[in-house]
Chains A and B, each alone.
Chain A
């Protein structure tokens, strides 16, 4: 590995100042499970790593006003095991459980998971300088596109690799960001940006900014409806939810396609629905036609196969990834069916 300096600041202000001072040469490190591979491959070459490990208050899960506050340094294993997440934000616990391997879940963090870089193997190759690395072409167009996007590509065709992002999207999570100009929060749907907006990055973090927390709204704020599941420790969230992930190997593998579904019921009527897809687009992709179809339906009347057929309105598969279109329809069909029959 190329030498670098490792610094562990003791406060958020200090971390932000270090990051903002030499943004091109400095990079954040959380667990390191993604970043260290990039450095070993020469894809990233920071001269300085700023660790978040020594900053108090960034790790852990707290109950707040009916919802949950997830610190950016919380590990994936902690998300998967937390009783309130398992009971009330089930899709998130499932996404965490299905992510990578036990060893990575023990060190990998939520913040690192959201900010991880894409897995396109041309981008990850030490010797190729594609558009995402500031080069002049996309090598995937003439190469192998099996794992790339079927919608939303624009000169670059990555899929966003994060499993937690897909699950967080169906709970209307907000991302809290600290930076040189203070703190701001934004809906998770606005946090991620596609190549049309910026080829070089996958989220809207500005130089010197970092993710401090992810906020999961409780029933008072979430526009989903009345409580369905009584939660743990006073938390109740009005949704049934589910995460399904299709992959080539059962473990240690990224999603070919994944889907998170959350519905809020009032009696037997679906008051609100959220459906988000992973593995199909450069950002976590909200399947809004499926949401619209489900909203207002009686549970017994839902045609899951029809819901599945609506998931990707205008797919534009590449040479080797046409399989993702029927795979998405089938996975959404299964997820909607399972949620309707009790999740």
Chain B
């Protein structure tokens, strides 16, 4: 496909808030949020699985809601804050969701894990005591090729029950 539009008209400078820090970035209009996180900010926690909004490996929080960062343009973000898996926890302390996945073997190869963790974080921020069904609904937009679903759900249950 020829680059039909002159590059100057398709480049913009934006201020992007990621994990509490505002970055001034020059981006092409067609770059997705995932492109910018991975290629410009070196935040490689969000993974590129399908790049079509179908697998959930690229899930991040946009204004506290989980979204597929591969299907959102960087320019669509505007002033809304973005949180990636790197933004969870403290430097040496994992977020309780991450710890629960670790303690309960909630991952096999781990490729899907950052996406699941972000969907899980969003659920628990809204609803600290989700039912099993609410857990399944909240994670329904994330696929795991290793079929670790049993352990993923188990991690969530353990967390919920510990919070009781």
Contacts and interface: CB of A to CB of B under 8 A. Distances in A.
B17 interface: no
B75 A6 contact: yes
Interface in B37-65: 51-54, 56, 59, 62, 65
Q: Which of A4, A100, A102, A103 has the most CB of B within 10 A?
A: A103
Given A51-B76, A103-B66, A1 B30 contact: yes
A64 interface: no
B1 A6 contact: no
A42 to B, nearest CB: 7
Contact of A4 (B29, B65, B71): B29
A65 interface: no
Nearest to B75: A6
A343 B56 CA distance: 34
A252 B141 contact: yes
Contacts of B138: 102
A252 B140 contact: yes
Q: How large is the interface on B (under 10, 10 to 19, 20 to 34, 35 or more residues)?
A: 35 or more
Contacts of B16: none
Contact of B65 (A36, A106, A250): A106
A273 B7 CA distance: 56
Q: Which of B29, B31, B56, B59 has the most CB of A within 10 A?
A: B29
Interface in A116-133: none
A60 to B, nearest CB: 15
Contact of B76 (A1, A32, A106, A251): A32
Contacts of A100: 141
A132 to B, nearest CB: 20
Interface string B105-124: 00000000000000100100
A103 B4 contact: no
A341 interface: no
A16 B54 CA distance: 32
A5 interface: yes
B66 A102 contact: yes
Interface of B: 1, 3-5, 7, 9-10, 12, 28-32, 51-54, 56, 59, 62, 65-68, 71-73, 75-76, 78, 119, 122, 137-138, 140-141
Interface of A: 1-6, 8, 29, 32-33, 36-37, 39-40, 42, 45, 47-49, 51, 53, 77, 100-104, 106-107, 250-252
